Amino acid sequence: MIRLLALGLLTLGSVSFAASPRLFPQPSVLTLLAPEVALTEPQIREPHVPTLLASGAFAALIATPLALAVGAEIGKGPKDLYAALVPSLLTTLLIPPLAVVLTEWMVAERTGKGRFRLVPTLLVAILGQAAIMGAGVLLGVNATTGAGVAVITLASAVVLPTATTAMLKLTERPPAVSVPVLSGNF
């Protein structure tokens, strides 16, 4: 089960890392060494909201079933109620928000380093996951059945990326004041 979790998180990290340069290309060395001298204003790029939502939904679709499976396996081990409840609850409560927030934050940071706050976004995502789990308990959703896992996963794929993207945009720092760049061949 731990191998399955590690494989899922490795897949999630590699896909989000591989996709971010394609979505937000960086200037090449050739553009920096232009033969003509030009005074250019640096462009401030905003994160593409649909890209943030899509990357967060993808992360939730991978991390939520893995967290539920790992939490169920952890809960089967000890016979004591608290020894079974606490680690399994923390696993299902923390892994999906952490995966969604880190994925969206990495994609957003490609547009401007240090502009997006991680901790408030993570706290809002954890509250969203707690609300999903609480609603699941009140509605009688069982995370050991396929239908229950699907309902919780779909709820996480909608709620967590939406809350994370909104919080990233709300807590965004203004871009640093930049000086025009003089480029040329010296």
Identify the pLDDT of residue 64: 94
Burial 72-110 (b: 16+ CB within 10 A, else e): bebbeeeeeeeeeeebbeebbbebbbbbbbbbbbbbbbb
Which sequence spans correspond to the domains of the chain? 2-8+50-174
Identify the pLDDT of residue 29: 47
Residue 104 contacts residue 91 (beta carbons within 8 Å)? no
Tokens of 139: 């509605």
163 burial type by CB count under 10 A (0-12 exposed, 13-18 middle, 19+ buried): buried
Strand partners, 38: 183
Block mean pLDDT (10 aa), the chain, length 186 = 58 54 50 49 69 93 92 82 82 94 91 84 95 92 87 94 93 71 58
Q: Say how far residue 161 (Cα) sits from the centre of its chain.
A: 7
